Amino acid sequence: MLPPLLLINGYAATGADWDPTFLAELERSHRVIHPDNRGVGEMPLGDAELTVEAMAADMEMLLDREGIARVPVVGWSMGGFVAQALALRAPERVAALALIATDPGGAAAVPAAPEVWQRLVDHSGTPREQATRLIDLLFPPPQAEAIDAEFGEVVAAARGALSPVTLRAQEAAMEAWHREEQPPPGGDAPPTLVLHGGADVVIPPTNAAALLARWPTATTELFEGAGHAVMAQEPQRVAAAIQAHCAVFTRT
C-alpha cells in the first residue's frame, strides 16, 4: 500500500479542485488525501468562528479518523497557512512539510498589492466574471487568457457553488493570519520545502525567503515565470520536488 500524503487546498477551493496532472503525479508515489476545508465541498461551515487554527484542528481530526499517526503535509496558499498551523500544533504528526505559494503570517509575511487583494476577494459580477478575475490572478498574462478560454466555464461553475458566507469567513481567517504573530517552530519542527512561482502576485515570491528564515532546515525552489497556481503550470516539476522531499524525510 502506498504511504499517505495530506494535501490541503487554498482559498475558495475544494479538495476536488486540484490540477489533475499534479494530483496524478503525486498519486504515483502516495495515497493522497485531499479533503475539503470547512465550509466548502462536502464540509459544513458550522457555527464556530473559522480560523486557520480551526482548519488545522480539522486536519488533525481527519488524521485521527484515518488512523494516521504521522504523514507528510502539503499546503497551497491558504492551505499552506493551515499546514503550518498543523505543524505548529502537532509537530509529531507531520513527517515533512511542503509549502506551495504561501507565507509565514504575521509581520514577516509580504502582502500582495492592495489592488490584487481586492480583486481576489471581489464577489461582484457573475460567476463567469469572477472566474476570469481569479484566473488572471492565478496565472501570468501569457497563459491566463488561454486558460480562461478553455477552463473559464468550469471555474465559473465551481465558483457559483461556493457560499459567500464561507468566502467571507475564509477571507477573515486569512486577514487574521497576517495580522497576528504566529508562534515560532520548535526544535521538533518538520523538515520543510518551500515552492514558489517567480511571477506570483497573490503571495509575492519574497515570502519564500521569509519562510526559509522561519522554518529550521527549510529549503526552497523558485519556478521562474510561474504564477500563484504554480502546481498547475509546472505539475510534474512541483510534484517531483515534493516526492523527493518526502522520500528523504519520511523513510522509516
| pTM: predicted TM-score of the whole model, two decimal places | 0.96
pLDDT (tens digit per residue) in 143-178: 999 999 999 999 999 999 999 999 999 999 999 999
Treating both helix axes as pointing N-terminal to C-terminal, what angle do 164-179 and 52-66 enclose, rounded to 10 degrees? 110
pLDDT band (50, 70, 90) for residue 251:
low
Determine the average pLDDT of the residues in 213-234: 96
Mean pLDDT across the chain: 96
Domains and CATH numbers, the chain: 4-249 (3.40.50.1820)
Judge whether 212 and 194 are in contact, CB under 8 Å: yes
Alpha carbons 215 and 212: distance in angstroms, whole number: 6
Say if residue 252's pLDDT is above 80. no
Q: What are residue 32's DSSP bridge partners?
A: 5
